[in-house]
């Protein structure tokens, strides 16, 4: 547990630094407001229409499939690490797990969810 103390200290220092910089900046800088100061310089072109455009639904399917196979990998990792303790039983178990998910993959494939055009 004590190995996490540097991380806690880092978070405190990082957060504190942000707060200090903002407050010192607010006190020190002269407050002269000009129109140019509020423009989006160094942020690319001014946006022509709404920033939050509606995306194509295909992105959602791809993202969903990604998350599902991501979760599969989450299970795969401890399985691989503890493989010497669970042996053949674990192998069969994991094959079953993957076969069930492969059905879903083939379903997605056959339904054309992976096609972009």
Q: Which is nearer to another protein, 4 or 41 (CB)?
A: 4
Q: For the chain, first and last CA: distance in Å?
A: 51
Give 31 or 51: the residue with its C-beta nearer to another protein: 51
8 lines the binding site for another protein (CB under 8 A): yes
Which letter does DSSP use for residue 35 in this model?
A: T
To another protein, the closest distance from the beta carbon of 82 in angstroms equals: 3
Rule CB under 8 A: which of 77-106 touch another protein?
77-83, 85-86, 89-90, 93-94, 96-98, 100-101, 103-105
Tell me the per-residue interface mask from 30 to 69 with another protein, x by CB under 8 A, - otherwise.
----------------------xxxx-xxxxx-xxxxxx-
> Which pairs with CB-CB distance under 8 Å and at least 24 residues apart come from 95-103?
97/72, 98/72, 101/68, 101/69, 101/72
> Rounded distance, CA 105 to CA 61, Å?
12
What would the DSSP string read from start to end of 42-88? Answer: TS-SPPSS-SSPPPPHHHHHHHHHHHHHHHHHHHHHHHHHTHHHHHH
What residues make contact with another protein under the rule CB under 8 A? 1-2, 4, 8, 52-55, 57-61, 63-68, 70-72, 74-75, 77-83, 85-86, 89-90, 93-94, 96-98, 100-101, 103-105, 107-108, 111-113
């Amino acid at each position: 547990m004590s190995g996490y103390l540097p991380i806690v200290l880092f978070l405190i220092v990082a957060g504190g630094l942000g707060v200090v910089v903002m407050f010192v900046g607010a006190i020190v800088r002269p407050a002269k407001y000009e129109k140019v100061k509020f423009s989006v310089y160094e942020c690319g072109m001014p946006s022509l229409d709404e920033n939050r455009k509606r995306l194509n639904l295909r992105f959602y399917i791809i993202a969903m499939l990604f998350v599902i196979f991501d979760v599969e990998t989450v299970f795969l990792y401890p399985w691989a690490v503890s493989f010497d303790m669970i042996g053949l039983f674990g192998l069969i178990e994991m094959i079953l797990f993957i076969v069930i998910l492969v059905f879903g993959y083939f379903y997605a494939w056959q339904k054309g969810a992976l096609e972009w055009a």
